[in-house]
Amino acid sequence: MKLTQLMENYHELIKAKQTVLLMVTAIFSYLISAVPGNLFNRMDFFHLIFALFFAVSGTTMLNMWIDHDIDALMDRTKCRPIPSGRISLRFVLVNGIVFTAIGLAAAFIGLDILTGVVIFLGLFFDFVVYSIWLKRRTKYSIIFGGISGGLPALAGRTAVTGSIDLIGILFLLFILTWIPIHILTLALIPENLKGYREAKIPMWPVVRSKEETIKLITGSAIVNTIVIFIVAIVLQIDYIVLGVIGLCCLFLIFFSVKNLIKPTHELTFTIFKFASMFMLFGFILLYIGVVI
């Protein structure tokens, strides 16, 4: 196999965009936490990035390994490396284990024990609780998937403070409440919904009505905006940045409520795209707000 093809396969196996997004939440969580008291530590920051890259990438590959059968049934995922036959199951399993082991070793050796435990819990909730136990059994699996998605941000906080505090929990809740918006708007896209049905994955719009799913998205959007606004207040960020965050919150609520009143595929996809940017820029704005 050519090196370029191998790298392309790795890029897909670790879901590079998703991995980078989770790492970005941890990075900004660390930076936001380090500003008060000038607590930035170059080695801790490097170890955090290194550990999370391998832990998240390894867990994602393990998820690819466990989900290869249902991936083959859905149009959105059937071209992934395993179902398309480009990579063997053994290759993905071995790489997933090795990457995960490197990530956890780096976390426990290079960082404090608590941060290592938080990173381990991210792996555990994502692979064991979400993928193995709940994904094929219940629509509530996305809650536990949301917890795993929020733990890198909590790890970024604990790497600075050495403890689990209110702000760290709020960082986790911000991502936890963002996950249903992201996943369910994507699941409502007709071709994706068809794929989940064919693969018999009990996603919310598969086992419940579209109307109920949109209500859940709207409720999640409202709670999500409340959480980030509380974070901004607790961090005592600059008032101008607080106003920008508030404006973004109003836009997300407006789109979600409008879609609740008169749902359309176009508006649902708009919410998906806006929510994706909202989570990323939310952390960036919080950082700007504490620096100013």
Residues 58 and 11 placed together within one structural domain of the fold? yes
Residues 179 and 234 placed together within one structural domain of the fold? yes
Give the Cα separation of 64 and 224 in Å (integer).
28
Residues 33 and 159 placed together within one structural domain of the fold? yes
Residues 280 and 239 placed together within one structural domain of the fold? yes
In the chain, the number of structural domains is 2
Tell me which of 108, 131, 163 is where a domain ends: 163
Residues 50 and 120 placed together within one structural domain of the fold? yes
Of the CA atoms within 13 Å of residue 144, those in its CB half-sphere come to 19
Residues 288 and 188 placed together within one structural domain of the fold? yes
Does residue 39 sit in helix, strand or coil?
A: coil
Our CA angle for 176, 182, 188, nearest 5°, is: 135
Residues 155 and 283 placed together within one structural domain of the fold? no
The pLDDT tens digits of the residues spanning 35-87 come to: 988 899 999 999 999 999 999 999 999 999 999 999 999 999 999 999 999 99
Residues 119 and 20 placed together within one structural domain of the fold? yes
The domain in which residue 32 lies consists of 1-163
The pLDDT tens digits of the residues spanning 164-177 come to: 999 999 999 999 99
Our CA angle for 21, 24, 29, nearest 5°, is: 135
Alpha-carbon separation of residue 72 from 75, 78, 85, 95, 198 (angstroms): 8, 4, 10, 20, 10
Residues 273 and 215 placed together within one structural domain of the fold? yes
Which portions of the chain are predicted below pLDDT 50?
A: none
Give the Cα separation of 2 and 150 in Å (integer).
36
Alpha-carbon separation of residue 256 from 142, 145, 209, 215, 278 (angstroms): 19, 22, 17, 9, 13
Least Cα distance to 70 among 83, 57, 61 occurs for 83
Residues 260 and 122 placed together within one structural domain of the fold? no
- What is this structure's pTM? 0.95
Does residue 30 sit in helix, strand or coil?
A: helix
How many other CB atoms are found less than 10 A from the CB of residue 78?
14
DSSP 8-state assignment for residue 202: -
Phi/psi for 24 (5° steps) reads -65, -40
Residues 9 and 154 placed together within one structural domain of the fold? yes
pLDDT score of 266: 87
Residues 159 and 194 placed together within one structural domain of the fold? no
Residue 104 sits in a domain of what CATH number? Answer: 1.10.357.140
Tell me which of 163, 191, 216 is where a domain ends: 163
> Tokens standing for 95?
């790489």
Tell me which of 145, 163, 181 is where a domain ends: 163
